[in-house]
Amino acid sequence: MAELVLDGVTKRYPDGALAVYRMNLEVGDGEFVILVGPSGCGKTTTLNMIAGLEDITDGELRIDGEVVNDKAPKDRDIAMVFQNYALYPHLTVRDNLAFPLTLAKASPDVIREKVEGAARVLELTEHLERKPSQLSGGQRQRVAMGRAIVRDPKAFLMDEPLSNLDAKLRMQMRTQLSRIQKRLDATTVYVTHDQTEAMTLGDRVVVMRAGHVQQIGTPRELYDSPTNFFVAGFIGSPAMNFLPATIETDRLRTPIGDVRLTDAQRSALESRDVGREVVAGLRPEAFEDAALVDASRAPGGTFTATVDILESTGPDVHAYLELEDARGGQALLEAQGAEHDGNAADFRSRNQVVVRLDPETQAREGHPLKVWFDPRKLYIFDPRSTENLVA
Amino acid sequence: MAISSRQKAGWSALNVLVILWALFPVWWIVALSFKAPADIGTDGGSPWPTDWTLQNYAAIFTTTDFIRALVNSIGIAAIATAIAVVLATMAAYAITRLRFPGKRALIGLSLLIAMFPQISLVSPLFDIERGIGIFDTWIGLIVPYTTFSLPLAIYILSAFFREIPWELEKAAKMDGATPFQAFRRVIAPLAAPAIVTTAILVFIFCWNDFLFAISLTSTPRARTAPAAIAFFTGSSQFEQPIGSIAAAAVVITIPIVIFVLFFQRRIISGLTSGAVKG
């Protein structure tokens, strides 16, 4: 296994379109790094550049300290798992798994041993003599994985390997994949648009948007301290609520009421040159049905709003609340492009807030509900630069 | 929608009529080939031979001319097919997979060749081939056959290559294959049904050609079967070689019939199923 370094890697297509801009990333030996972002953000292009399937316009790609920009894919010793598996339909599972070894001119004994070893790990032993067309989706996916692991490459690249599976199988494969990755201690770069996969699988996650890296960090860091409003809106489901807000000395005026700023928040704001108009962000998890909160032990704000829609997921209830006094915020947020790329509050109208409630809640659709929120979990963003001001 | 038995009977009758209409000339020539030379023209054109005989077949195989022509036909068609299929496979692959300057021009040019009336090229080809000394040789026929069958071959194959998921090649590259290995070990086996189909069509085109065969040959050296038949003579100047012509026509039809039956059975799709999810 090896260390991968992207040093200012840029991809510009001949027609001038910029796919990836000055990407810096270091993937440590054995590390599992996830590239995540909406479609068209450059994550697959980045993966293809690491693989050698696309040329690097500018910058350096190093594997174990060696610059490999101009090396052909076969000389980089990297394995890749494709979204649609890309199994060779005319070969049996055994021959599919053996293909990279045959090309590397391994001896038949070594090939048999390695293929059968991989088949055991992936529970494919009984399917070795079958053709890919006779396998189920999950089995095909495992063959694709197997083809990557048989030859002990320096690194694995995975391009949305689970996106073609149904929800239940995807969960299973996700844990299996995580187990295999740990067992092989394999340096892995994994592309997905699914933030759940990103959060659960990765040691570190790279959030990308329109070719630019937005933030690199552990799943926890991305969730707790997003650097800007794009990351804040992208990570977390349902997405974070954004509200227009005004700073009034020590308080923040928002459509859900005034919030007293903590000292830390105030000093963070003072150290920056921001106007009075800001954007407040609150995750759905920061809310609760006020009737279920012991106000003496959990100080916080409350507001009342009409419940538009209730969605029960079992452990939680998501309530979509209509705010009356939120006009003006829309234009502000839209101007910042928060609506783009299907991120943030994509399907929510701008005066709506999503809250995650305990299933005990008595909320009913069409009725007003008193909601409590935790002001310590408030994020404040600069509406111009979209940066998180209090991270 | 239910079809009444009357409608069904009507359609069946129509189908039988169409088949009879299409097959009657074929039967006529087959019947003719089995008639004794003396009966031809004296039995009132009966569609059924009064005496079945293999005399005509024996006659065409006793002279060396027809056998020679068959050998020419098979050899020229096979070589032209091989060249055309190899070139077309590579060209079609390039057209579907690679970005290169002049790609559109190349496709346009190959279509242009296909649209050119062949008869308009016969005289220039005749002059050129005489000038460079390949007139009345195998090469003299292989070259135009290859040229004129390439557009069709490229067209069929590129349509097929487009169906092969590009990921397979990327996967092969990632597995350590050179571009040529990826082509030979992954793409070519997958394209095999299309390559066979193309080969059969090209072979039939070469085999059936009469125009070039009659214009670009002058001796039995390179004359192919369809052209050779036109030079059949009776055993005396008072006898028409009708029986021999009929027998030869039946003989050269047989490979085509076999090929067409074979071609029908080829299932072009199906082989790629399972490569990707779908």
- The answer to whether position A390 is within a domain reads no
Is it the case that residue A156 has pLDDT exceeding 70?
yes
Look at A155-164, A289-298, B144-153 and tell me which has the smallest mean pLDDT: A289-298
Q: Are residues A158 and A206 in the same domain?
A: yes
From A53, A133, A135, residue closest to B173, measured CB to CB: A53
Q: Are residues A109 and A209 in the same domain?
A: yes
- The answer to whether position A388 is within a domain reads no
- The answer to whether position B251 is within a domain reads yes
- Residues of chain A with pLDDT > 90: what percent? 43
Per the CB < 8 A criterion, the answer to whether A195 and A186 are in contact is no
Question: What pLDDT, on a 0 to 100 scale, did the predictor assign at position B266?
Answer: 58
B 158-197 residues inside an 8 A Cβ radius of A: 165, 167-168, 170-178, 181, 185-186, 189-190
In which element (H, E) is residue A310 found? strand A301-312
Q: Are residues A205 and A262 in the same domain?
A: no
Question: What pLDDT, on a 0 to 100 scale, did the predictor assign at position A163?
Answer: 87
Whole-prediction pTM:
0.77
Total tally of structural domains belonging to chain A: 2
- The answer to whether position A234 is within a domain reads no
- The answer to whether position A87 is within a domain reads yes
- The answer to whether position B26 is within a domain reads no
Q: Are residues A164 and A191 in the same domain?
A: yes
- The answer to whether position B3 is within a domain reads no
Q: Are residues A84 and A218 in the same domain?
A: yes
- Cα–Cα distance list, B11 to A105, B1, B23, B24 (Å): 62, 15, 18, 20
Which domain CATH number covers B126? 1.10.3720.10
Is it the case that residue B277 has pLDDT exceeding 60?
no
Closest CA to A121 of A184, A167, A78: A184
| B274/A80 touch (CB, cutoff 8 Å), yes or no | no
Q: pLDDT band for position A221 (50/70/90)? A: very high
| A74/B167 touch (CB, cutoff 8 Å), yes or no | no
How far is residue B243's CA from residue B55's CA, in Å, rounded to a whole number?
Answer: 9
Q: pLDDT band for position A22 (50/70/90)? A: very high
Residue A34 structural domain: 4-229
- The answer to whether position A70 is within a domain reads yes
- The answer to whether position B131 is within a domain reads yes
Contact partners, residue A172, CB within 8 Å, separation at least 6: A138
Contact list in A for residue B188 (CB cut-off 8 A) is none
Please tell me the distance in Å from B109's CA to the nearest CA on chain A.
Answer: 26
- The answer to whether position B12 is within a domain reads no
Which residues share a beta bridge with B29?
A: none
Closest CA to A278 of A385, A179, A181: A385
Q: Are residues A313 and A219 in the same domain?
A: no
Question: What pLDDT, on a 0 to 100 scale, did the predictor assign at position A166?
Answer: 86
Contact partners, residue B202, CB within 8 Å, separation at least 6: B80, B81, B84, B85, B149, B152, B153
Closest CA to A284 of A370, A354, A195: A354
Q: pLDDT band for position B135 (50/70/90)? A: very high
Question: What pLDDT, on a 0 to 100 scale, did the predictor assign at position A1?
Answer: 67
- The answer to whether position B220 is within a domain reads yes
How far is residue A191's CA from residue A193's CA, in Å, rounded to a whole number?
Answer: 7
Q: Are residues A39 and A164 in the same domain?
A: yes
Most A CBs within 10 Å, among B166, B174, B269, to test the A interface: B174
Per the CB < 8 A criterion, the answer to whether A151 and A79 are in contact is yes
Look at A11-25, B29-43, B59-73 and tell me which has the smallest mean pLDDT: B29-43
Cβ count near B245 (within 10 Å): 18
Full DSSP string of B231-257: T---SSTTS--HHHHHHHHHHHHHHHH
| B171/A88 touch (CB, cutoff 8 Å), yes or no | yes
- The answer to whether position B277 is within a domain reads no
pLDDT, averaged across chain B: 85
Q: Are residues A215 and A349 in the same domain?
A: no
Q: Are residues A154 and A18 in the same domain?
A: yes
Q: At which of A180, A206, A229 does a domain end?
A: A229
Mean pLDDT of A132-144: 90
- The answer to whether position A273 is within a domain reads yes
Instruction: Give the model confidence (pLDDT) of A229-286 as tens digits.
Output: 889 988 888 888 888 888 887 888 888 888 888 888 888 888 877 778 888 899 999 9
Per the CB < 8 A criterion, the answer to whether B51 and B36 are in contact is yes
- Number of A to B CB contacts under 8 A, please give it: 84
- The answer to whether position A386 is within a domain reads no
Question: What pLDDT, on a 0 to 100 scale, did the predictor assign at position B211?
Answer: 92
How far is residue A189's CA from residue A175's CA, in Å, rounded to a whole number?
Answer: 16
Is it the case that residue A318 has pLDDT exceeding 90?
yes
| A103/B189 touch (CB, cutoff 8 Å), yes or no | no
Look at A53-67, A292-306, B89-103, B167-181 and tell me which has the smallest mean pLDDT: A292-306
- Residues of chain B with pLDDT > 90: what percent? 32
In which element (H, E) is residue B16 found? helix B5-33
Total tally of structural domains belonging to chain B: 1
Which structure tokens are listed for B2?
């239910």
At residue A164, what are phi and psi to the nearest 5 degrees?
Answer: -95, 5
Please tell me the distance in Å from A106's CA to the nearest CA on chain B.
Answer: 12
Decide which of A62 and A277 is more confident. Answer: A62
- Name the interface residues of A facing B (CB cutoff 8 Å): 51-53, 72-74, 78-80, 82-90, 99-100, 103-104, 131-135, 137, 140, 147, 151, 157, 164
Q: Are residues A79 and A29 in the same domain?
A: yes
| A84/B274 touch (CB, cutoff 8 Å), yes or no | no
Q: pLDDT band for position B238 (50/70/90)? A: low
Closest CA to A146 of A86, A195, A68: A86
Residue B133 structural domain: 61-265
Is it the case that residue A67 has pLDDT exceeding 70?
yes
Please tell me the distance in Å from A217's CA to the nearest CA on chain B.
Answer: 29
From A82, A87, A131, residue closest to B170, measured CB to CB: A82
Angle separating helix axes B188-208 and B138-163, nearest 10 degrees: 140
Q: Does residue B268 sit at the A interface (CB-CB below 8 Å)?
A: no
Q: pLDDT band for position B235 (50/70/90)? A: low
Cβ count near A100 (within 10 Å): 25
Q: Please give the sequence-ordered ranges of beta strands (E in DSSP) within chain A, or none if there are none.
A: 4-12, 18-27, 32-36, 58-63, 66-67, 78-81, 155-159, 188-192, 204-209, 212-217, 241-248, 251-254, 257-260, 277-282, 287-289, 301-312, 317-322, 352-357, 368-373, 379-381
Q: Are residues A112 and A29 in the same domain?
A: yes
Any idea what DSSP says for residue A388?
A: B
Question: What pLDDT, on a 0 to 100 scale, did the predictor assign at position A349?
Answer: 52
Cis, peptide link before residue B193, omega less than 30° from 0: no
Q: Are residues A154 and A244 in the same domain?
A: no
Which residues share a beta bridge with A205?
A: A34, A217
- The answer to whether position B45 is within a domain reads no
| B175/A87 touch (CB, cutoff 8 Å), yes or no | no
Which domain CATH number covers A338? 2.40.50.140
Is it the case that residue B269 has pLDDT exceeding 70?
no
